[in-house]
Amino acid sequence: MNEQLPKPIAELSVESEKGSEAAGIRELGLEEKSTLEGDAAVAQAIAEGVPGLDDETESRDELDKVVRNMLLAGLAISTILIIAGLLLSSIFHRPLPSVASGGHQLFRKLKAGAPSGFLDLGILVLIATPILRVFGSLAEFIYRRDWLYAAITSTVLLILAISVLAGRG
């Protein structure tokens, strides 16, 4: 029951976010009809901007919440890796290399426990963070069967893939 509750709230509030009545009615599926009255009131209140219902605590969109958490997680992991790398290299008095490594070289470094390996990995996680949030959006769009936006999101990912390949050599 608990797992089923948040979705109608999010979807309803998306509708009120759109503001357009026609679009709202068109896109309101059968699922929303079973929404509890309380949830509808919450969504309504958010739409009307009742003070006290802070939108920071009441996320209006499931998609937004997924993306937000991915960004914060990526940022936290990369910061931890980078700080670990900095601390380790200052403890062991290892000079920092002037080129961040990738692929096999990075793998070897990490296997050997070299401090700069943590740094490089931290930088890579940082670069990967916004890319992963695009994957998160793609998953969410597919889950909602929003094929147009799934296609748009895939195009962004395609460009990213080209850039990974184009960067070689």
59-69: b or e for each residue (b if 16 or more CB lie within 10 Å)? Answer: bbbbbeebbee
From candidates 102, 113, 143, 147, binder to another protein by CB under 8 A: 102
Backbone phi, then psi, for 37, in 5-degree steps?
-60, -35
167: three-class secondary structure by DSSP: coil
What is the spatial distance between Cα 132 and Cα 119, in angstroms, rounded to a whole number? 19
Cβ neighbours of 121 (radius 10 Å): 23
Least separation in angstroms between residue 167's CB and another protein is: 4
Yes or no: say if 109 and 101 are a contact pair by the CB < 8 Å rule.
Answer: yes
Least separation in angstroms between residue 128's CB and another protein is: 8
Yes or no: say if 94 and 114 are a contact pair by the CB < 8 Å rule.
Answer: yes
Considering only residues 17 through 76, tell me which ones interact with another protein, judged by CB under 8 A. Answer: 17-20, 23, 46-51, 55-56, 59-61, 63-64, 67-68, 71-72, 74-75
80 part of the interface to another protein, by CB under 8 A? no
91 part of the interface to another protein, by CB under 8 A? no
Q: Which residues bind another protein (CB under 8 A)?
A: 16-20, 23, 46-51, 55-56, 59-61, 63-64, 67-68, 71-72, 74-75, 79, 82, 85-86, 96-100, 102, 116, 119-120, 122-124, 126-131, 133-134, 137, 149, 152-153, 155-156, 159-160, 162-164, 166-168
